Structure formats: C-alpha cells, structure tokens
Homo-oligomer: A and B are copies of this chain.
Amino acid sequence: MTDDAYMNERPNAWGRWGVGDEAGALNLIGPEQVKRAAALVRTGQVVRLAQPLSNKTPVPRHRSGLQHFMGRDGGDYAAGAKQPGGFQFAEDTVVMPLHIGTHIDALCHAWCDSRMFNNYRQETMRSTSGATRLGVDKMPPAVTRGVLLDLVGLRGRRLEDGEVVSRSDLEACLVEARLQLEPGDAVLLHTGWLAAQQGKSDVDFDSEPGIDHEAGLWLAQQDVAVIGADNFAVEVLPFKPGTVFPVHQCVIRDFGIPLLEGLQLEPLVRAGRHEFLFVAAALPIVGATGSPLTPLAIL
C-alpha cells in the first residue's frame, strides 16, 4: 500500500512511526502524556467543547446538513401504539455528513500529489470500501494535555474574518499563559469565530480567522498531537493566493496531525484555565474520513 518511489520533499513526519503506521502524531501521546494530563485535574469541572448537532447546525453550501428521523416516538403512542408489558420506547436515525459541527478530520481527509500521510496511495480509498488506510477508525483516542491559546484574549477583541494567526501570535499566547508546548499536546485555538456566527441564518464559510502555513508548520514541529480551533477549518480563509488549504496539506498530510474543527470554546475560556486534561474520541466508523465527536476539557 505504500510505495517508496514517491518522495515527499516537504518537511514531514513520514516514516517516523514506521512504514505501516496509520496513527500519525497521535503516537506522540504515550502513557506518560496521559498520566501527566490526568494530574492536571484540579476542580473536577467538565467542559463539553461540542456544538449541538441538528438540522440547524450550519454547513457550507456544498454539503447537506444533518437530518434526524424518529422511527418511533411519543406521538405514535398518543395515536394508540401498543405497549406490550407496559413497555414504551422511541428510536431514531440520522443522515449525517461526517464533517459537521464539532468534528475531527481523519488523516485520510486531505492530501496532495495523490499521496496521503505516510505515503499511502489515494487508490486505497474508494466508494466501495471507504478509506482502507488512515480512516477515523484507526485513530487512537486523544487523552492528553490540552493547551488553550486564547487569541481573543491576546488581541483584546474577536478576530476578524480573514485575519491571520501567526506563529508569533501563538508564541505570545503561550507566554501569556506561562506555558510551553510539549510533545503530545492538544492545542486549542480560540478565535471567537464560532461565537460570532450564533444566530446567523447564513454562515459564511469562505472567510474566517485562522493560522497560516508557517504557524501550522511551527505547531507541527513542536510535536503537538492534535490542533483544534473554534472555526471551520483551523486555518485562515481565504487562503494566500495560489494556495488551497495549505495548513491541511502540511499538518494532516505531511505531519499526520488530525484537526479538530468547530470547537465550542467559550465556556472553557470563561473557566480561565489554559492547561487541562483533554479527551476526544471519534466514532470508530470504519473507513471514514472524519467524525463528529464531543471533546472534553476536564479542569
């Protein structure tokens, strides 16, 4: 499935965890990282970082939103459905695009040059099978230190659409928080974008604040395991001319770092904590390119 003939000449982490590896930077979270993260729990407060999922969850125009169908509900009993042994129940089904709301991008989600992370060929992913390599089912859960980088706090205002978050911004946030990045960290970027979309009937997915390529590369080179943000794509939109999703290409495809998009960070920001136990576990959908999930900050 991998092929040595192709040479990825950009900085990358290919081969770092072996030829057949499919976990990428999540390998940076070992037992020590888990233990250190668990030791950060102080107040016992649990903060849910996920947006609610419904047919109102905004999606870009080329995607369909979530549909939720009740297969059996209270109305059916009101209309006289039988209740053998007194038992009544309800069940339901969703039609759900996997990159909706608060979700994680699996390592097969983005690539270039026909090669995915760790030199897997794009032909490993078909309609019939889904992604036989690098699917979301291959991602270990992230249980590690979460580090909140509060760009809104740094700027003293919500970031504007199209505003770049640079490497030096990230470094300034760390100084402010008196923290240093460590291998295996989950870095969460607060830009204020998601909060700004509340109540809008038509969210613009073409313009948002986010990191540029240099900032993404720098984070990757700090050996972070996960990068998340409270926006649509982690990276700044629109892209620098001539580039398309350059951070996705660098971070996911070259370094094997999954992105967490659409995080709801306001409650965490209000809690005033910059490091905490972070837990995120995707649905193990075989061959999927991503998954909605409910990441937690345990304070």
Chain A contacts to B: CB under 8 angstroms: 30-35, 38-39, 41-46, 48, 50-56, 63-81, 83-99, 108-114, 121-128, 130-131, 137, 140-141, 143, 239, 242-246, 248-249, 277, 279, 281-290, 292-296, 298
Docked-complex contact A126 and B70, CB < 8 angstroms: yes
Q: Report the bound CA distance from A130 to B114 in whole Å.
A: 21
Q: Known contacts A85-B242, A114-B88; is A126 also within 8 Å of B76 by CB?
A: yes
Residues of B contacting A281 with CB < 8 Å?
A: 48, 50, 279, 281, 293-296
Closest residue of B by beta carbon distance from A111: B88
Residues of B contacting A243 with CB < 8 Å?
A: 85
Say which residue of B46, B54, B78 sits within 8 Å of A286 (CB atoms): B54
Residues of B contacting A282 with CB < 8 Å?
A: 294
Docked-complex contact A45 and B31, CB < 8 angstroms: yes
Docked-complex contact A52 and B286, CB < 8 angstroms: yes
Docked-complex contact B63 and A91, CB < 8 angstroms: yes
Q: Report the bound CA distance from A75 to B127 in whole Å.
A: 7
Q: Known contacts A141-B46, A281-B296; is A85 also within 8 Å of B34 by CB?
A: no
Q: Known contacts A67-B95, A91-B97; is A34 also within 8 Å of B53 by CB?
A: no
Residues of B contacting A41 with CB < 8 Å?
A: 34-35, 38-39
Q: Report the bound CA distance from A71 to B63 in whole Å.
A: 9
Say which residue of B32, B87, B108, B293 sits within 8 Å of A44 (CB atoms): B32
Q: Report the bound CA distance from A242 to B56 in whole Å.
A: 29
Docked-complex contact A245 and B98, CB < 8 angstroms: no
Q: Report the bound CA distance from A84 to B97 in whole Å.
A: 23
Docked-complex contact A91 and B109, CB < 8 angstroms: yes
Residues of B contacting A122 with CB < 8 Å?
A: 74, 77-79, 88
Expressed in whole angstroms, the minimum distance between the Cβ of A93 and any Cβ of chain B is 5
Expressed in whole angstroms, the minimum distance between the Cβ of A199 and any Cβ of chain B is 16
Docked-complex contact B128 and A84, CB < 8 angstroms: no
Q: Known contacts A75-B125, A125-B90, A287-B68; is A244 also within 8 Å of B98 by CB?
A: no
